[in-house]
Structure 1
């Protein structure tokens, strides 16, 4: 049994132990509290340090950035377009004009409310005439919500989740507005025709940014309407009568080359807007959208007037100053004389009309011609007459000279000789035998005169007589073979041979961009899928297809001594004159040499002699005698390509492309280069293409 003292001793120990623990707990509690306080103070101190660092960064190191942000929120830059430059022909005849007209404009203040704009639109709708009232469903709803009381009511009726997020925070005002738009019922915007007029005007006003001006689209203003608007101007916040211009292009043979200009409503084309905005354009600026108007946009576009408007914190205008004074755009003078262009167009029309009347052009797309200054690249005429299959009439189609492609035929043979020389396949005025080319498994290839018997001919004569077989033998040599009757063609060097031909043709401008100062030019049709037989037909112009302007550049490079020059139809840039005159010359468009031909003087001389003999030789085999003129010496090359057309019943019809290239030096010293294409004719003996060349050369000689 445990004694009394033992029991009490044990209780004593337990009591002492509990007392120690109690004291320890008491001593620990203050320590824990002070640690937490210190930790809290530390966190607060770190936060203050971070805040101080951020403020230092904003106010010291990045002060300029935030200052600019503040300025941007209180500063507006407004760009006002100036009048566009005009386009003139080579003699100074205006091809475009900017016709002045009275218009209604609206300048939007930063303080104007939608209520005010709605009231202005209501008043203005009774004063002017509208030519259209087409508006979108969204524009109708915007107009409906323009009344502040209506907007407030619609928003109040919105479900809670359309006004606040799941935490009860108010949604962005733009989001609430869009939700209000969606909530407007169709019957609320079922406007009458008179109401739609107001909506139409309001929509134009609502689309403009602060301090910017929009020309409201109305019918032409009458004197009475101008007087009424002017008299009521104080009631029409931001509305005024102003002068504007409207672009007009004369109805002439050159009209298609001019192109179009966008309206202020359409503004910048979507695909080009980003680039234009970087250059300082405004979204509603009128810009060229095609051809010359587009190519020379930056010259024709006037210099913008730039205003910088600063407002105070209440939105009131603090300053309004002009930082850049605007000016009218530059004028362009073309290298093309409108009268000469019309004359070339008439010549083509006369030849085509004769062919149609004799049923020789039933399937033809028409006739096209380009005339260049061979030395400078200046385009003197680019004319076309487009013909629909089976029709008796035709219409002008100048753009077809750069967009429509046709198989060229033998006109390319000067370039084929060049490919032979540059590759070592032939040398100088080498003699080869014009003979039937018989390849195993293929029809015989002949020249038009081969049936009269095989004969030895030089390179010069190959051009004069237009020998297909001479060119085919060059192609066979490019394949790494020598011609033997009945031989098979190897494909080992097929790609190399075709590349040699095409690269050489490209040196002359065929199958590549000519460098013309107009957008939309075709580079021709160059098939990637070909066989070894196509290499042979390529050599005499029976495979790839080219444009008329490419043929003109080709012959120009032969005429000028071996330089491929870029064609251009703008000759000079002018500072705009007064009262719509041409003005003073600012700069000229210089001759641009794209490359030199891979020819020495002897080789070039062979081609030039061959082209001369085509027209002026006494041989019965010369192919271009119809081009010969008594008043201007002409050299040239004809081309007949075997082609096919499809009649109205879907049947294939055998046709020919009748083409020609030529050059001559006129009495005024101008070296003329001409390309003619007359596709899908029915009579291979027709001389319409040659007659056109002669008539064009003589027209220039007689008028210059």
Structure 2
């Protein structure tokens, strides 16, 4: 069967070959005719399609041509969350501001933007806020006119248009720089209207393709808004919207609120990558300091995301909201403004008394921080700074976290702790309070022994504020117990410095406190590890600390050795429908940073020593604190002696006057750090006790307002 098929195929091929051989033109003609028929059929189909598109469905395709185009995604910021005090009163709000916006298409020319700006000037009030102008900005506006550009181009010689090195024509960017040089001062001497138009043009010209920028803000009447709407076709890309500005209540706390960037500034360059990774846009306004920065992601809110359609001519034809924006959440502080103001007044009243008594001439001011020792909530951050040239005083809340001063004897609980941690003290150990005589150094002795040898315990060392007990402890940590007339080997000096500072840091001295906002100082650690500085460190005469660090130090002792992070924000709140403070969404919880590495029995000894400071015998150093106090107060005072030269070149001896305290003694509910630096020491050795009275007055104020439990 297969063989038969092959025979038939061969026969057909032979027949075809014979036909081609006998009449080849006839076969080719048939094929050409078939090809022409196919081409003609395709042509008819094409004509029919063109008829459908250009005549029958012309309107449909014209509309499709206009509406089709490029899709672009835009991100717009929303109103920022607000900040409230503990009484629900706003410290920071948002003020709505009317704006004129410009959305830039991808084909708009400089001349078109120039004409839009000139048209806008005839509509909007001249009081609107917009950009400032440089000389270059004015020249850019001048050259945006094609006529002006052509006129200036004609001022260039053929030689000026050629690159001297290559002989080629200069690129347009370099030519434009030469055009700028050719514009005269007279040509950019603008009247007020033209200058405003130039300012608007500057913002428009700086807008990226498909982006929307605020080019002016102010108050626009209904009539002006109506005119803008009527001229929408000739004001291509112009719209009317609203934005917000931060409004800050006048308060001593304003300085710790911080600041927010403008929309023009946007995200600072140094943190740009971090914010972009979190979904921010380049022109988003962000907090740059203190609470605004510390709680940025809470306050910022959710941006609006829109999809913009741009036609073939670069005109924006449609906007579609993909994600609806949401106002940022609010934060509420732990600080009652009435208590804060009360502490401010206590500082001011006591400092004014110091001025009247002649103690405050060289003082930097006075500072106090009040916090809850178990939760870390800050109840007051009060400060006043003193201008020594004018003798004026003003509020300085930031000084509580940024200004460092020598602490004096308040560090002595830390020094005793270092002795316990390093195994050179045991419990309430007794040491001889005695004059310390070291080769090459002046004799160091305590104020109360007058050169005599007096055995005292650790608790008594705190009550009497013994310097020599601390020096001997420091020498023991160094591995060189005190001997009269001894020299000091320095091979372990740096290591011993680190040990002592490490213990202090467990209390928050010389360390970050963990406060919930950026900007705090850790104080200053001296950089000369000499033997003299090491011994001075042991009784608070070398490194410097902030008032907040002193308050955390007191709180740690009151809290049985547990150091908690101070926080100024009580909670995060939502928004009511009118944008005001809503319900609590998250409470800021207490955060324990560490526990001091000593037994509770030893912590109790420190607490007992602080009780004796205010309740002890004649040699107790803080008894003024308990004068007219409403509850028992535990405290440790601190002074240090230094000097300044007066205008006559004579030395004036000065002292810091500090206190760390907590109350009530039996059930601590507040911890306090007070610093009053550089008060005058009189010739009879007397100096102010304002630090002690400030401490007492703060405790009494708290008890009056809230009643200790």
Query: TM-score by structure 1 length?
Result: 0.84
5+ long unaligned stretches in structure 1: 1-72
Corresponding residue for residue 64 of structure 2: none
1:117 to 101, 108, 113: 113
Contact in 1 for aligned 2:267/2:282 (Cα 8 Å):
yes
Corresponding residue for residue 429 of structure 1: 428
The Cα RMSD (Å) is 2.6
Corresponding residue for residue 94 of structure 1: 90
Q: Please state if 1:603 is matched with 2:602.
A: yes
Report the CA distance between 1:139 and its aligned residue.
1.5
Which secondary structure state, in structure 1, belongs to the residue aligned with residue 270 of structure 2?
coil
Which secondary structure state, in structure 1, belongs to the residue aligned with residue 424 of structure 2?
coil
Which secondary structure state, in structure 2, belongs to the residue aligned with residue 541 of structure 1?
coil
Corresponding residue for residue 278 of structure 2: 279
Report the CA distance between 1:647 and its aligned residue.
3.0
Alignment partners' CA distance in 1, 2:512 and 2:179: 55
Cα gap change, 1:702/1:540 in structure 2, threshold over 3 Å: closer, same or farther? same
Alignment partners' CA distance in 1, 2:590 and 2:417: 24
Question: How do residues 210-609 of structure 1 correspond to structure 2 at under 5 angstroms?
Answer: 210-221=209-220, 225-226=224-225, 228-311=227-310, 315=314, 320-389=319-388, 391-451=390-450, 453-609=452-608
Alignment partners' CA distance in 2, 1:572 and 1:293: 15
Contact in 1 for aligned 2:131/2:203 (Cα 8 Å):
no
Corresponding residue for residue 622 of structure 1: 620
Contact in 1 for aligned 2:505/2:511 (Cα 8 Å):
yes
Report the CA distance between 1:378 and its aligned residue.
1.3
Alignment partners' CA distance in 2, 1:493 and 1:666: 39
Cα gap change, 1:168/1:446 in structure 2, threshold over 3 Å: closer, same or farther? closer
Alignment partners' CA distance in 2, 1:316 and 1:350: 66
Report the CA distance between 1:169 and its aligned residue.
8.4
Contact in 1 for aligned 2:131/2:202 (Cα 8 Å):
no
Q: Deviations over 1:629-673 (max 9, x none)?
A: 643221111001112234345544210000000011499x77211
Alignment partners' CA distance in 2, 1:689 and 1:533: 28
Alignment partners' CA distance in 1, 2:640 and 2:209: 63
Contact in 1 for aligned 2:679/2:687 (Cα 8 Å):
no
Alignment partners' CA distance in 2, 1:670 and 1:492: 43
Report the CA distance between 1:231 and its aligned residue.
5.0
Alignment partners' CA distance in 2, 1:137 and 1:582: 47
Report the CA distance between 1:311 and its aligned residue.
4.1
Alignment partners' CA distance in 2, 1:427 and 1:133: 70
More displaced, 464-473 or 220-229?
A: 220-229
Which secondary structure state, in structure 1, belongs to the residue aligned with residue 481 of structure 2?
coil
Contact in 2 for aligned 1:479/1:492 (Cα 8 Å):
no
2:144 to 143, 146, 149: 146
Alignment partners' CA distance in 2, 1:324 and 1:163: 51
Contact in 2 for aligned 1:91/1:337 (Cα 8 Å):
yes
Alignment partners' CA distance in 2, 1:255 and 1:223: 35
Report the number of matched residues.
Answer: 630
Q: Please state if 1:83 is matched with 2:82.
A: no
5+ long unaligned stretches in structure 2: 1-68
Q: Deviations over 1:367-418 (max 9, x none)?
A: 0001111111111111101112254431100000111111000000000001
Cα gap change, 1:211/1:647 in structure 2, threshold over 3 Å: closer, same or farther? farther
Q: Please state if 1:702 is matched with 2:704.
A: yes
Corresponding residue for residue 126 of structure 2: 129
Alignment partners' CA distance in 2, 1:606 and 1:172: 82
Contact in 1 for aligned 2:107/2:313 (Cα 8 Å):
no
Alignment partners' CA distance in 2, 1:590 and 1:265: 37
Alignment partners' CA distance in 2, 1:567 and 1:463: 26
Alignment partners' CA distance in 1, 2:238 and 2:669: 58
Alignment partners' CA distance in 1, 2:416 and 2:673: 19
Alignment partners' CA distance in 1, 2:445 and 2:678: 21
Query: TM-score by structure 2 length?
Result: 0.83
Q: Deviations over 1:571-602 (max 9, x none)?
A: 21112223342112222222222221011111
